[in-house]
Amino acid sequence: MMWRRLEFLGSILELGYNFLFTDMDIMWLRDPFPHLFSEVDFQVTCDHSNGNTSDPGNLVNADFKFVQANRQTVKLNKYWYELRWTFLRQERARRVQHHQTRPVCHRRTRSHDAVS
């Protein structure tokens, strides 16, 4: 789902439109635009921030994005979308490793649980 959304938002950028994207669970009580940085092309929320807005160690949460359409943001979006294969391979490897290392649980069947 996230990858399709990213692809769709990329097509909006390629058409030259800026966008403000939020998930459905966000409610606006005030106009958000006065709180955005005017000189920044791509703004996204973080789950954990250390207070330094340009630190790559902040954990990105893509529930809120404001993106201004230009060559750099189109290129960034394409790069991010192409990373899906790397992410999916890593996720698949993690699941395989988890499955291989998962302890096997045995359940002793009591006589009244047995099917005759």
Q: In the chain, what are the domain boundaries? A: 2-99
Residues in the chain: 116
Please name the residues in contact with 50: beta carbons below 8 A apart, sequence gap of 6 or more.
Answer: 57, 58
What is the per-residue pLDDT across 44-97, written as a single tens digit (0 to 9) for each? 888 888 888 778 788 878 788 899 999 999 999 999 888 877 877 777 777 766
Please name the residues in contact with 58: beta carbons below 8 A apart, sequence gap of 6 or more.
Answer: 46, 48, 49, 50, 52
> What mean pLDDT is reported for the chain?
80
User: What pTM does this model have?
Assistant: 0.65
User: What pLDDT does 28 receive?
Assistant: 87
H or E segment and range at residue 72: helix 71-101
Q: Averaged over 29-48, what is the pLDDT?
A: 88
